[in-house]
Amino acid sequence: MIGLRGGLGIFNRSTLRRPWESPSRWSLRGEVGRLSAQAVVRPERKIPEWKRREVEELSKLISSHRVVAVFKLTGLRANLIHEIRRKLRDIAILRVAKKTLFKIAAERAGKPELAKLVEDFKEPLGFIFSNTSAFKLKIILDKNRIPMHAKAGETADFDVTVPEMNTGLPPGPILSEFGKLGIPTKIEGGQIWIAKDTVVARRGDVISPELASLLARLDIKSVLKGVVIEKAYEDGVILTREQLEIDLERFSEDLRSAHQQAVLLSVELGYVTRETITPLLVKCAMEAKALAIEAEIPSKETIEDILRAAEAKAQALKTAAKIG
């Protein structure tokens, strides 16, 4: 019995089967065991080389620029982004990248807080890297918006005029579209001509589907398209789109007013600066002259005023004497 048990000790469960079990069943159990082990120990997924390069380049851009901004790609055509990239060549770098890769790059650059730039957006984003102030960057982007054809429902960014011209279009049902929009036409040489310059939309007007279609056929652009900064990071601060909005005219007026008030206060206090020295000298000269006239100290500047004052006093005495 002991010998039998010792002999059995050299067998394992995969080699020792019950009489009523077939060899194929034990073979299947062994295969399942091996498959389960493979499922537990999964091989490490290889990261594509392009992703590694992208993270590395983004990390370098983040480290070398103090301003990082994001903009939505929705509705922006590739040729538009290319044109804006060309105009900002010496000011900023535009880059389209995946948000997840940007977050990893921000971590590697030691600025994990940059993840807040992308956390509220589901749309694909573009990134701007610059050493120019975010406020100045927005002003530059606004000034470099590009005229584009309007879609129905969009708002005209400027007054839209259909000029007097040959449309190159043959007469047909389109004539009624011109008529509905109040555009005078005439037929010459088998083509439709615009009879005179006609304003079809004012700045702020909503472009109707009919007008959008007609303007596109005439190649007349009525909206300005460009990159709009949604969020920006500058010197550790996250700025929203609303915070970046600046009314330049109002700001300039407030700045002029503040400057004038500061100069007046400085003159009143006698505080000498480059801006106040001239009005201070004028004020001192006027006060000195008034004091000299009051004290009847004759000089080239005061003699006429002293004589006029004396004459006025004499006339007053004369009048008073007659009354007495």
pLDDT in tens, 279-294: 888 888 888 888 888 8
Q: Of 36 and 107, which is predicted with more confidence?
A: 107
Highest mean pLDDT (candidates 25-34, 139-148, 233-242, 300-309):
233-242
Supply the pTM of this predicted model. 0.59
Q: Assess whether 240 and 128 both reside in one domain.
A: yes
Asked whether the beta carbons of 194 and 184 are under 8 A apart, the reply is yes
Q: Which residues pair with 224 in a beta bridge?
A: 147
Residue 65: which CATH number?
Answer: 3.30.70.1730
Residue 217 and residue 237 in one domain = no
List the domain range (segments joined by +) for residue 268. 251-323
Neighbours of 158 (CB within 10 A): 14
| DSSP character string of 3-46 | HHHHHHTT--TTT---TTS-HHHHHHHHHHHHHHHHHHSPPPPP
128 and 154 inside one domain: no
Residue at 172 is within a domain: yes
Residues 166 and 179 in one domain: yes
User: 231 and 129 in one domain?
Assistant: yes
Instruction: Name the nearest CA neighbour of 275 among 251, 258, 288.
Output: 258
92 located within any domain: yes
* pLDDT computed for residue 311 by the predictor: 85
CATH number, residue 181 = 3.90.105.20
Asked whether residue 212 is domain-assigned, the answer is: yes
pLDDT tens profile 259-274: 889 888 888 888 888 8
Residue 30 lies in a domain: no
Domain boundary among 190, 225, 260: 225
Supply 20's token pair.
């009523």
C-beta of residue 67 within 8 angstroms of C-beta of residue 131: yes
Work out how many domains the chain is built from and give that number.
Answer: 3
| Domain-ending residue, one of 244, 272, 295 | 244
Residue predicted with more confidence, 97 or 8: 97
pLDDT at 16: 46
Is 40 among the domain residues?
Answer: no
Measured CA to CA, the distance from residue 104 to residue 116 in angstroms comes to 13
- Mean per-residue pLDDT of the chain: 84
- Lowest model confidence (mean pLDDT) among 66-75, 146-155, 304-313: 304-313
**Mutual orientation of helices 277-294 and 248-269 as an angle, nearest 10°?**
40
State residue 79's pLDDT score: 83
In the chain, which residue ranges form alpha helices assigned H by DSSP?
2-8, 23-40, 49-64, 78-87, 99-108, 134-143, 174-180, 209-217, 241-244, 248-269, 277-294, 303-323
Choice between 317 and 12, residue whose per-residue pLDDT is larger: 317
Higher pLDDT, 31 or 161: 161
Could you give the percent of the chain with pLDDT greater than 70?
86
Both 86 and 231 in one domain: the answer is: yes
pLDDT at 305 over 60: yes
Claim to verify: residue 136 and residue 263 sit in the same structural domain: no
DSSP codes, 97-145: --HHHHHHHHHHTT-GGGGGGTTT--S-EEEEEESS-HHHHHHHHHHT-
Residue pLDDT, tens place only, 144-186: 888 889 999 999 999 999 999 999 999 999 999 999 999 999 9
Judged against a pLDDT cut of 90, whether residue 23 lies above it is answered with: no
Q: Pick from 225, 259, 284: which residue ends a domain?
A: 225
The Cα–Cα gap between 122 and 113 comes to 18
Q: Do residues 106 and 83 share a domain? A: yes
Strands 198-201 and 160-162: antiparallel
Residue 44 domain flag: no
Mean pLDDT across 34-59: 75
